[in-house]
Structure 1
Amino acid sequence: MHLLVITDLEGVCGVDSFSQTRTGREQRKGPAMDQLAREVNACIEGIHSAKPKATVDVWDGHGSGGLRESDVGDARYLEGGRPYFEMDGYDAMLFVGQHAMAGSPHAPLCHTYSSLSIDYYKLNGTFVGEFACRALLAGLQGVPTIFLSGDDKATLEARQFVPEIETAVTKRGTGRESADHRDREEVCAAIRDGVAVAIERLDEIPPYSGLEPPYTLEVRYYEPYNVSKIDRIAGWIRKYLPIAGDLVPVSKGVTRIDARTIRITADDLLDTDSGLYHRL
Structure 2
Amino acid sequence: MRYILITDLEGAAGVDSFAQTRTTDPVAKGPGMKQLTLEVNACAAGIRSADSDAVIDAVDGHGSGGLYPEELVGCRYVGLIGTTVHRLLAEGAYDAMLFVGQHAMAGTVAAPLNHTYSSLEVMYYRLNDAFIGEFGARALLAGSMGVPVIFLSGDDKAAAEASMFVPEIETAITKRGRGLELADHLSSEEACRVIREGAARAVARMAGIPPYTGIEAPYTLEIRYYRPIADSYWTSNPHAVFVDERTVRLAVSDLSLLPF
Q: TM-score, normalised by structure 1?
A: 0.89
Alignment correspondent of 2:104: 100
Percent pairwise identity: 55
SS of 1:120's partner is strand
Aligned 8 A contact 2:85 2:138 in 1: no
Alignment correspondent of 1:259: 245
How far did residue 75 of structure 1 move? Answer: 1.1
Alignment correspondent of 1:222: 226
SS of 1:217's partner is strand
Aligned 8 A contact 1:85 1:138 in 2: no
Count of matched residue pairs: 256
SS of 1:105's partner is coil
Alignment correspondent of 1:247: none
Alignment correspondent of 2:30: 30
Higher CA-based Rg: 1
Alignment correspondent of 1:40: 40
Alignment correspondent of 1:129: 133
SS of 1:147's partner is strand
How far did residue 87 of structure 1 move? Answer: 2.1
Structure 1 segments, 4+ long, off by >6 Å, are none
Alignment correspondent of 2:187: 183
Relative contact order (alpha carbons < 8 A, sep ≥ 6): 1 or 2 greater?
A: 2
Q: TM-score, normalised by structure 2?
A: 0.96
- The equivalent position to 2:201 in structure 1, one of 176, 197, 204, is 197
Distance 1:68 1:176 in 2: 26
* Cα offsets for 1:163-201 (capped at 9, x unmatched): 000000010000000001112211111001100000011
Distance 2:67 2:143 in 1: 25
SS of 2:37's partner is helix
More moved, 25-34 vs 106-115:
25-34
Distance 2:115 2:44 in 1: 26
Alignment of 1:230-241 (within 5 A): 230-231=231-232, 233=233, 238=236
* Cα offsets for 1:187-225 (capped at 9, x unmatched): 111001100000011110000000000000000001122
How far did residue 230 of structure 1 move? Answer: 2.8
CA RMSD of aligned residues (A): 1.1
SS of 1:56's partner is strand
SS of 1:119's partner is strand
How far did residue 3 of structure 1 move? Answer: 0.4
- Structure 2 portions without partners, runs of 5+: none
Alignment correspondent of 1:87: 89
Distance 2:62 2:89 in 1: 19
* Cα offsets for 1:237-269 (capped at 9, x unmatched): 63xxxxxxxxxxx622x1000011000100111
- Structure 1 portions without partners, runs of 5+: 239-249
Could you say if the C-alpha distance between residues 30 and 7 of structure 1 is closer, same or farther in structure 2, counting changes exceeding 3 Å? same
How far did residue 84 of structure 1 move? Answer: 3.8
Alignment correspondent of 2:169: 165
SS of 2:43's partner is helix
